[in-house]
Homo-oligomer: A and B are copies of this chain.
Amino acid sequence: MKRRSLLLGALGAAGTAATGTAGLILGFAPPPLKDSIPLVLDPTLAGASPAGWMYRELNASVVADSAYALYREGSCMYATFGGILNQLGQEFGEPYQSFPVHMMKYGASGIGGYGTVCGSLNGAAAVVGLFVNEKSHRNAMIEDLFTWYESASFPMYKPGTDSEDIAQSTSDSVLCHASTTKWVQASGKRIDSEERKERCSRLSADVASRTVVMLNEYSRGTLTQERRVSDETAGCISCHGETGKMGAVKGKMSCTSCHDTSVGHHIFADAHYQNYEWLHPKED
């Protein structure tokens, strides 16, 4: 049970009685993203990518195997990006063949070991950037991929039918250090263990193959965006986000993975809100 739902349950009665302070905790109306009509991403509306960078359909399983193997050469971002680009180069030649794939080693362990965004996601988003010209389509595909990553149990990929199962975990975050530490907690293995590297190489295969499935559908004109940020995150964004009254935050990452949404955070919400309304009036 999520901390937030727990809190709302416990505060239900008090909240209804004391609408003044608790109103902001209970009173918001998250946009009904889950029930909205899926967004059809029609590539014919987007125009060609500059310099003729066009995606061509690939076999997702072949790419997954390639990404898994590439991980040992240059880590996660290199694995996901290279798994897709190398395959394009092998099957279709130029311009794919000449892309300097080696550069993507920079994204290892959340960019140079810094622990920020998971490199497999950075690599997948870079592929989307290379082939998807229309910003709203790019962002929809990235949202789809990133929200899937936050809630999926990794790894799913197995390098062979007789390969060992390894522990799975859900990250609730797209950040490398959070994702890997969640796996450390689930598996009981150390972060510097061989098993953790195996987990990340399998995860890179998972992300690469999902990206290919998505791009294949996009190139056929059959991709829809059905997966969006959780209602929980949408609730936070509805006030704090760029179209909200506060207009202070831009992002779609799972908020509660880091931020406390307990009573302490919102107890003075009215005063806080007034303050922000003064600071950041939404212009009509």
Closest CB-CB distance, A117 to chain B, in whole Å? 4
A193 CB contacts on chain B under 8 angstroms: 247
From A12-20, A61-69, A172-180, the one touching the partner chain is: A172-180
Indicate whether A100 reaches chain B with its CB closer than 8 angstroms: yes
Q: Please, how many residues of chain A have a CB less than 8 angstroms from a CB on the other chain?
A: 67
**Chain B residue nearest to A78 in the complex (CB):** B129
Tallying the copies of this chain within the complex gives 2
Contact status of A113 and B250, CB under 8 A, knowing A51-B102, A104-B129, A280-B189? yes
The interface bits of chain A over 160-202 (1 if a CB of B lies within 8 angstroms of the residue's CB, else 0) are 0000000000000011110011001100111111000000000
Indicate whether A249 reaches chain B with its CB closer than 8 angstroms: yes
**Mind listing 26 A-B residue pairs with CB under 8 Å?**
A50-B100, A51-B102, A53-B100, A53-B103, A102-B129, A104-B129, A106-B125, A106-B138, A109-B250, A110-B251, A112-B128, A112-B138, A112-B143, A113-B142, A113-B252, A115-B249, A115-B253, A116-B175, A116-B253, A177-B253, A180-B250, A181-B248, A184-B249, A184-B280, A192-B243, A258-B258
